[in-house]
Amino acid sequence: MENDNSLRRLKTIEGHLKGVIRMVEEDAYCIDVIRQIQAVEAALNKVSSQILENHLNSCVITAIQGDDQKERERVLKEITEVFDMANKV
């Protein structure tokens, strides 16, 4: 169910991005293009946050509650890497 919501949002974003591409092709006003790009970025960030929340509430909880310490460490390291990568962008 969560994947359906994320997929629906991503398809909406895809349509919005195609609109931005069309704006650039048609030489739209730069500030208008930038605003639309920012809207796409915000929408992508929202989907990313939802997917992360779902991951934390499923995979990560399962790993933390499990008996495999290496799996716990791996999952926590992945989360750290995601945040590190987000800070580099």
pTM of the model: 0.84
Each residue's pLDDT tens digit, 13-30: 999 999 999 999 999 999
Of 48 and 88, more confident: 48
For residue 44, the model assigns a pLDDT of 97
Helix then strand then coil, % of the chain, to nearest 5 = 90, 0, 10
Could you tell me the residue ranges of all domains in the chain?
A: 2-88
- Report residue 6 as tokens: 């994320």
CATH class of the domain comprising 2-88: mainly alpha
